[in-house]
């Protein structure tokens, strides 16, 4: 998320549910035992970003943000 503008970042943070699973499809996958295909994930990712008004954010760009957040919150 470090590549987002401050406005885009705020929209993502405002729309993020802290309990939201990484691969949300529990309606069709109640036991969470089935893998989510890459195509299904990309489709969901794209729709979510579109709903937030965020463009051109790749999942790879979120890795550094996650690592930094983990370290800042005490991860070893």
pLDDT surpassing 70 at residue 27? no
Domain locations along the chain: 36-76
Of the candidate ranges 9-13, 20-24, 62-66, the one whose mean pLDDT is the lowest: 20-24
CA dist 43 and 11 (Å) reads 20
Q: How far is CA 63 from CA 21, 26, 59, 72, 73, in A?
A: 16, 24, 7, 14, 15
Q: What is the pTM of this model?
A: 0.46
Of the candidate ranges 27-31, 43-47, 54-58, 59-63, the one whose mean pLDDT is the lowest: 27-31
Grade residue 69 by pLDDT with cuts at 50, 70 and 90: confident
């Amino acid at each position: 998320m470090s590549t987002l503008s401050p406005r885009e970042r705020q929209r993502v943070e405002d729309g993020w549910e802290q309990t939201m699973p990484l691969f949300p499809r529990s309606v069709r996958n109640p036991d969470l035992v089935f893998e989510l295909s890459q195509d299904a994930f990309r489709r969901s990712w794209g729709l979510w970003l579109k709903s937030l008004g965020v463009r051109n954010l790749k999942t790879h760009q979120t890795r550094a943000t996650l690592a930094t957040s983990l370290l800042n919150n005490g991860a070893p």
